[in-house]
Amino acid sequence: MRTHILVTGGAGFIGSNFIRFLLAQRPGVRVTNLDSLTYSGNLENLTGIDADPRYRFVKGDICDDAAVSPLVAQADAVVHFAAESHVDRSILDSRPFVVTNVMGTQTLLDACRRAWAGNADRRFLYVSTDEVYGSLPLDRPELKFTEETPLQTNSPYSASKAAGDLLARAYHHTFKMSVLTTRCSNNFGPYQFPEKVIPLFVTNLIEGKQVPLYGDGLNVRDWIHVDDHSDGVLCVLERGRPGEVYNLGGNNERSNLELTHAILALMGKGPEMIRPVADRPGHDRRYAIDATKALRELGWTPTRSAWPAALERTVRWYADNPTWWRRVKSGAYREYYAKQYGGG
Ligand SMILES: NC(=O)c1ccc[n+]([C@@H]2O[C@H](COP(=O)([O-])OP(=O)(O)OC[C@H]3O[C@@H](n4cnc5c(N)ncnc54)[C@H](O)[C@@H]3O)[C@@H](O)[C@H]2O)c1
C-alpha cells in the first residue's frame, strides 16, 4: 500500500471528498493536500479532517515548481485533481484553463519524473473526464464512450483536460513513469461549488429563486455519486495497470430536464420555478460511459449513485448545510451569476 499520497486540488469538491474517503478507508495512509485555493477551493470542505494527524495542507500552485518538487519527492503517489473545472468559465476566459490544466499538469509530471527517477512503484494518477470524448447523439442510446473512443473535445475546458490527459500518457511512454488515468462522468454530492447544476438548482430553490435551465433541457449526463468516483480512483491507484485509462461512470443517464424535475419534486416545487435560458455555446448533447474495463479488471462497481436515494441524500445535505453554501454564494459569486444568467 502507498503510505504518503500527494493530492492536488484537495480543497475542491471531488478532491476534498476523496481525502475524506481515503483517510476513512486506509487508516495507514498520510495525505498532503496541495491547493492554491482559487475561487472553488475552500478549506471548509475539509472540516473535521483538518485536525487529523495524518493530514497536512500546503497552499501552493501546481504551476510553481518550487512548491511542487519537494512535495512530490516525499510522496509515494500523486492523485492529481487540481484544475479549472467549469465549462462555462472556460467559455468566458480559457486562459486559466490552459495555464492550470496543461502547464500545471506538465509541472507536476516533470517534478515526478525528476524526483522518482524511474522508480515504477511510485504512481501518478491523472483525474480526467468523460468530456474529453466529445458528444454522443441523442438518437443512438446504444452508443457509449469506451477507453478506445477518440478524443474529440468541444469546449476549452475539455480541450485543456485532454491536453493534460495526453501529457500524462506521454510521460508513461517516454519516461516509463507509472501513470494511470481515470475518465469519469458528472459527479454529484456534498461540497460541490454551486455553479454546477445540482447545487446551483437546489440552493436557488431554497433561496426562493428560479433555476436557469439551458436550451431545450434535453442534454444528457451520466451522474455518479462522488464517493463512487473516489472509490474508483482508489481502485485504479492501487490495482490499475500503469499506462492504462479507466472509464468511471454511474450508469445513471438523465436529461437535464429530468434532473430538474426530480429536484423540483424532492423539494416540493413546481415547474414555474424553471427559467429557460439561452443554451451554452457548443453544448455537448450526451455523455454516456461504458465502465466495463474498471468493473471487470478492478472489480469496481458504483454502488452509491442509484436514484432517487442518492439525489435525495444530496439535496438534504445542501438543505442541512446553509452556512456552507451561503458563504460560498456571496461576494464574487454574485457577479459571476449575474454575468452568466443575467441575474434573477
Ligand atoms: N466535477 C465533475 O463532475 C468532474 C467529473 C470528471 C472529472 N472531474 C475532474 O476532477 C477534478 C476535480 O474537479 P472538481 O469538480 O472537484 O473541481 P473544483 O473546481 O471543485 O476543485 C478544483 C480545485 O483545484 C484547485 N486548483 C485550481 N487551480 C489550481 C492550481 N493552479 N494549483 C493548485 N490548486 C489549484 C482549486 O483551488 C480547487 O480546490 C478536475 O480535474 C476535474 O476536471 C470533475
d(CA 112, CA 177): 8
Specify if 319 maps to a domain: no
Residue 221: predicted pLDDT? 96
Which of 34, 85, 160, 167 is the pocket-test mutation for ligand 1 (most atoms within 8 Å of CB)? Answer: 85
Which grid cell is 46? 475539509
pLDDT at 339 over 90: no
Which grid cell is 343? 441575474
pLDDT digits (tens, 9 = 90+) for 181-210: 999 999 999 999 999 999 999 999 999 999
Residue 15: predicted pLDDT? 98
Q: Which residues form the domain of 38?
A: 4-189+225-250+284-305
Specify if 136 maps to a domain: yes
Specify if 259 maps to a domain: no
pLDDT at 343 over 80: no
104 lines ligand 1 (CB under 6 A): yes
pLDDT digits (tens, 9 = 90+) for 142-175: 999 999 999 999 999 999 999 999 999 999 999 9
Specify if 316 maps to a domain: no
pLDDT digits (tens, 9 = 90+) for 216-265: 999 999 999 999 999 999 999 999 999 999 999 999 999 999 999 999 99
Residue 1: predicted pLDDT? 59
What is the distance of C-alpha 311 from the center of its chain?
A: 17
125 lines ligand 1 (CB under 6 A): no
User: How many domains does one find in the chain?
Assistant: 1
* Residue-wise burial string across 138-167, b where 16 or more C-beta atoms lie within 10 A, e elsewhere: eeeeeebbebebebebbbbbbbbbbbbbbb
Which of 20, 38, 68 is the pocket-test mutation for ligand 1 (most atoms within 8 Å of CB)? Answer: 38
Nearest residue (by CA) to ligand 1, atom 42, is: 85
Residue 331: predicted pLDDT? 82
61 lines ligand 1 (CB under 6 A): yes
Specify if 296 maps to a domain: yes
Q: Look over the chain and give the mean of its residue pLDDT values, rounded to a whole number.
A: 96
pLDDT at 344 over 90: no
Point out the ligand 1 atom lying closest to the alpha carbon of residue 11: 39
Nearest residue (by CA) to ligand 1, atom 36, is: 41
Residue 44: predicted pLDDT? 97
Specify if 269 maps to a domain: no
pLDDT at 42 over 70: yes
What is the domain-level CATH number for residue 41?
3.40.50.720
Q: Is the pTM value of this prediction over 0.95?
A: yes
Q: By percentage, how much of the chain surpasses pLDDT 70?
A: 99
191 lines ligand 1 (CB under 6 A): no
pLDDT digits (tens, 9 = 90+) for 66-112: 999 999 999 999 999 999 999 999 999 999 999 999 999 999 999 99
Residues in the chain: 344
Other beta carbons within 10 Å of 3? 12
Residue 294: predicted pLDDT? 98
Specify if 114 maps to a domain: yes
Specify if 71 maps to a domain: yes
Residue 338: predicted pLDDT? 86
> Is 186 buried (19+), middle (13-18) or exposed (0-12) by CB count in 10 A?
buried
* Residue 144 CB partners (closer than 8 Å, separation 6+): 136, 288, 289, 290
Preceding peptide of 137 cis, ω within 30°: no
Q: Which residues carry out catalysis?
A: 130-131, 157
Point out the ligand 1 atom lying closest to the alpha carbon of residue 17: 16
- Three-state secondary-structure class, residue 208: coil
